[in-house]
Structure 1
Amino acid sequence: MTTTRGLREDDDPITMLTAYDAPTAAVVDEAGIDVVLVGDSMGNAALGYDSTLPVTFDEVASRTAAVARATGDALVVADMPFLSFGVDEAESVRNAGRLLKEANADAVKIESGPHTVETTRRMTEVGIPVMAHLGLTPQHVNQLGGYTRQGTEQDAAEEIIDLAGAHADAGAFALVLEHVPANLAGAVTEALSIPTIGIGAGPDCDGQVLVINDAVGLGEWSPPFAKQFGDVRGEMVDAVEAYKEAVTSGEFPSEEHSHVEEDLDDLY
């Protein structure tokens, strides 16, 4: 299994994708992806919510356990959902610990800010690996006024650099940078000894992450910084329509899909 220490052992970029269920996690793991993120993006991508805010701790825990059961080599990172951390430090640490102890996550990810530096430090002190997350933090969508690019002004960029260093010093083993200018992400990557993983942050991070729906083309829309590497939605539409046509036409189930038990001939 990939370890938190092993993420920066060679020069190959780190690959990370989200997964929210066992079948998807198995495919991602078998493809050799380094990190599987059980993201609170499941709110939009899998649970039908309009944002990540309604996602509960129990939903993340259940889906993390499913992903962990199907994953052999990749590092499984569980997202800490809104209000499962940051309110009370003891509760934050306890919730993170439960994701490792009960759901078999290898690490947790926290949407970070000035308020999470000491939380990160305390978690790592008790043996919980922490992946920090700066830039666009979707749990702050109401405060930010939307999913807009972050760090575009000098003061904001300098704050991200400072917070990145503070979380690295507090013990975070990696940092996600979301929707920030590429030159800012490059500067953060250069300044840190821990790896950076970008999403909408340009090519100069140590790795990249995408939401699985965007990567495989499952959704009807993807953000401008994502790329669809397949058309899973199109394949599913074709398969479902073919199934419907086969059933309505009587083509399915055919003789090869059925079993006749000779000893039951006298039932009628």
Structure 2
Amino acid sequence: MTNTQVTHVQIDNYGPWTVTPEPRREVDLQTLQSRLYADLSQLVGNRGGYVFFSRFDNMVAVTNGLTVDDHALIQESVGNRYPVTMSLSVATGTTPAEALGTATEQLQEAGSAQDKSRREILRGRAIEEEYRTGEDLQIAHFDVVNATGKYTDELNEFDTFIEIEQGYAELMRYMRQAYDSLSFFVGGDNIIAVCSAMDAEDYRDAVAHVSDAVDVELQVGVGRGAVAHEAGMAAKHALEECRATGEEVHVDWSTTDAEPPA
């Protein structure tokens, strides 16, 4: 069993803001979204967590190790630097999908994403220190086998993008439906999944499913830890084993020696 802490990040009243008093330039909106994501990634990452951009106006963070007070400080920092505010909802669960479901429900109960009066909501609870362990999080790092040789050096960029995205979409869907796990594209040909208590055979099943469904070959390294940074680094090292040995799945159940950033 995993013990995942997830934070649902939602920009307040973002849709109406983008067209008030008149539609804003798309380049300005894209710049704001990307800078906000970068800042959140740094603010959460400095505390050992991960942020995934999702739809940009909504983001998902894995925040094991962060307290509610940590969230309040991050929220305040964003409010001081941006023309928009954001609401945060924190929840825990035995699977990542369960935790995110609770976090989303808490935000929805506080009001609509386009409610002008809903501002900087902070709801939920964090895992108390006494209940945290080095096995709380299981993170998998997937990438496409020989993406450069098969796609990047052979196809035009858009067709390469289609192939990679097909693999991602099928993996994302299957991991959610079959294993209550959340998968996120993180650039290049890389996908990071925050997982339930899966074993090596479960990961082989997911890889085989994607290969059968969309003909995209994946390999995956898996790690675990008390915070996302720790589990993610173990997963990265496990993926390097796949690349070196040709293994399809490499699972590292020991925690990495890497420490969360100070």
Shorter-chain TM-score above 0.5: no
Q: Identify the structure with bigger relative contact order (alpha carbons < 8 Å, sequence gap 6+).
A: 2
Larger Rg: 1
> Which structure has greater strand proportion?
2
